[in-house]
Every structure is written in structure tokens, then in C-alpha cells.
Structure 1
């Protein structure tokens, strides 16, 4: 079980965050980036899971700039509300909040950034625009919109082979633009296959993706 804390971004904005600490000397530090549903029970469990695996994890509440305490359900109403918030928030302000979370974990901010859904695109942008140590993007639907930007740190991506929101042609276009970046496509997986609160949850595939993520973090992050 983690704790809630307050972060302050470089523009003076104060936001909440959920932090889970490793019980022993950490193997590394990670920023966990929310889906469009906010820092909800699932995202807190993700942080707790990484802490149990030896990584100190922080999930910043990126929607705090618009509405504090957002936690939405995995239904059509939640999707609609989350997408509306994403549209209002834009892409620049979340970078400030990711940077605040990263420096809260390590003074130089060179931590891992792991994002899911909307957070997958945020993780991609963090790798391109911030001085972070590594990034992992799970089914980032809008990465294609920023495919012309180039990551400055090691990065891997996970996609579902049957994701109706991210066609295989889109994944192929991302791969073609960045052939050196590892891209994993999972047959039988749709959108949100890592989330145990969603109908598309695929436990075996989520485990395989996490194994690959952990191996990647072990190689690219220092304690």
C-alpha cells in the first residue's frame, strides 16, 4: 500500500500523486502514467506491483490541472469523460507534471516512465521531450500523431494484435519510422490487455509484457 503526496511542477502547479516504495533498496524508479480514467484503483495497483518487484513508483494525477481527484469507471461514460479531459489538457502541461514526478524520484530525473493507453503516448513524448532514463509505452493510440519526434532514451512499445483503436497498419507505420525501437505485438490481445479491470484483460499476455518490461528496466535503469 502506497501513500498520497503533493508534487509541484516547474510552472508552480501543485498536483497530487500516488507513491509506492520498494521495501528494500530499490532496483530503480518509475513514473507510472495513467489511462484516461485517472489515478484510479488499477493504476495504484500497478504502482504497488512495481514496488513489490523492487521499483519505487509514482503515479502523478495529470488531470489535477483541470479537476482534482478524477477516478473514472471503465464504461462508456468514463471513456467519454476521460477523452474530454484529455482534449482540454493538451500535451505540453503533462510533460511538466511527469518531470515533477521524475525529479521527486531521483534528483536528475533519469527514471523509467511507463504509460498505459493515453499514458502510453505520454510515455513516448516523455522519451522525446524530457531527460528521462527509459520509457515503456503500452498501447499508446496517439503515438502515430508524434511519430516524427525522436526518443532520446531507450524505449520499448507493447501493442495488442487485435486492438480496434490501433490498427496493425498504424503499428507498422510507427515501426517503419523507428526501426531500432523494439515493438511487441501480442496476438489475441485487444486494447487495455494489461488492465485487470477491463474486459480486454489478458493475464498471460500481461505477464509476458511485464517480463519484457522488467528485463528492459533492469538493463537501462540504475538504482
Structure 2
């Protein structure tokens, strides 16, 4: 079962979120944090995927802070619009919106993981490091090719972290994952040979099925370990 709900962040901002629920009792929740294309069908599909694996999947619409129902594709015009919207994203505001999603799924009684892609991958990491100050301690976090995560590598973590990077990512250099590895030797970090940026998104030309499958298997196993 899936649909849209309205959340209220701590600063009073109201935002929408896509929610997918599993059949039967939930194992917990996975907060899915968008790329810079909004909670589009691709991100909705990720929430649905985790619902099929027994979790409540919830994707807060971070773009709602400056425009409702922004769902972009990956063609040239939408790419252009996405990169125009990207500078408007504020990390502190986005974190508040993720906390609102965390509060919404509290009734599972089993906690929530934060998982994100690209910008969302960075926000998953910041949920790990900055969430507790806002009343959110995730069960664990999963970052897919989190842009800029190396700049926040020195921050203390609050829960287990898994990070996926494409070895051929032309947006995110190896220095980013190396910085996290140096500061957090306990973090699980994987680099995928032959995979570039957005390798896990089947709707994008950069999709690499073998790397996406392996990363997904690792993510599901990581969730099972930390929710058990």
C-alpha cells in the first residue's frame, strides 16, 4: 500500500512525503532521501522496493520548501532545472524535513534507517552525524554516491554507516571515500569498478545492473543486521 502524506517539520514547514507500507508487520522504516530530481517515480520506486522487503519506506519531498510536487526526469531540460534548483537546497532545512519523516514512522516502534542517493547520500551521512542533536538517532544509514561527504568526514557518527561509491564516478573523487575511511575505519565502504555516478538508478544512462544488484544486496543485508 502506498500514497502521499503531509508532514510538519520542527520549524512549522509542511511538506509531502511518499509512503509505501509492507504487507504485515513492518521490520522498521527506511527514510529514502531524494537526488536533486525530487520524489520522482525513481525515488518512489526505491520506497516501494523496501516496502516489498518488509520496511515502511518514506521519502520526504525536500523540494517542497520552494515548490510543490516537483518531480523531474533525467532528460536535458529536467537536468537543467534540477541544477537550477540544487543551490536552493539547504542542508539544515533538509535535515529538519528528514527528522519530520523520522517522527512520522516512529509508530513502527522499531526505529528508522536513513538511505539516500547523491545529495540524499550526503544527507544520509549528515543524518548520522547531526540527527541526534535534533532528536533523531537512526538505526543505521546508507549512502549511495554521497556528493561532498568527505567534507563532513570528521564529524562523529551516531550509528553504523554503509557507503557505496562508483570507482569511475566523475562527480565524486576517491578522496571523498578515503576521507571517510580514514576518519571512520568502522564504516562499511564499497567502491564498484566499472560504475560511475548514479550507477544504482535504472532510469539513468549511467545504470550498471551488476553493481546496482550487489550494492542492493549489501544494503538489504546491512539493514537486516542493524534492525535485528
TM-score, length basis structure 2: 0.92
- The question of whether the paired residues in 2 share the 8 Å contact of 1:128 and 1:149 is answered with yes
Following superposition, the deviation at residue 73 of structure 1 comes to: 1.8
Note the residue ranges of structure 1 that are not aligned, 5 or more in a row: none
Aligned length: 222
Matches within 5 A, 1:1-223: 2-107=2-107, 110-130=111-131, 131-221=137-227
SS class of match (1:58): strand
- The question of whether the paired residues in 1 share the 8 Å contact of 2:27 and 2:110 is answered with no
SS class of match (2:194): coil
Q: 1:154 and 1:38 mapped to 2: Cα distance?
A: 26
SS class of match (1:106): helix
1:4-59 Cα offsets, whole Å, 9 max, x none, are 11011111110001000001211221100000000001001111111111111000
- The question of whether the paired residues in 1 share the 8 Å contact of 2:119 and 2:146 is answered with yes
Alignment CA distance shift 1:109-1:120 (3 Å)? farther
Following superposition, the deviation at residue 160 of structure 1 comes to: 0.4
Note the residue ranges of structure 2 that are not aligned, 5 or more in a row: 132-136
- The question of whether the paired residues in 2 share the 8 Å contact of 1:103 and 1:109 is answered with no
Q: 1:199 and 1:177 mapped to 2: Cα distance?
A: 33
Q: 1:75 and 1:124 mapped to 2: Cα distance?
A: 28
TM-score, length basis structure 1: 0.94
Q: 1:199 and 1:145 mapped to 2: Cα distance?
A: 28
Shifted more, 140-149 versus 166-175: the winner is: 166-175
1:41-81 Cα offsets, whole Å, 9 max, x none, are 10011111111111110000001001111111213433332
Following superposition, the deviation at residue 219 of structure 1 comes to: 1.2
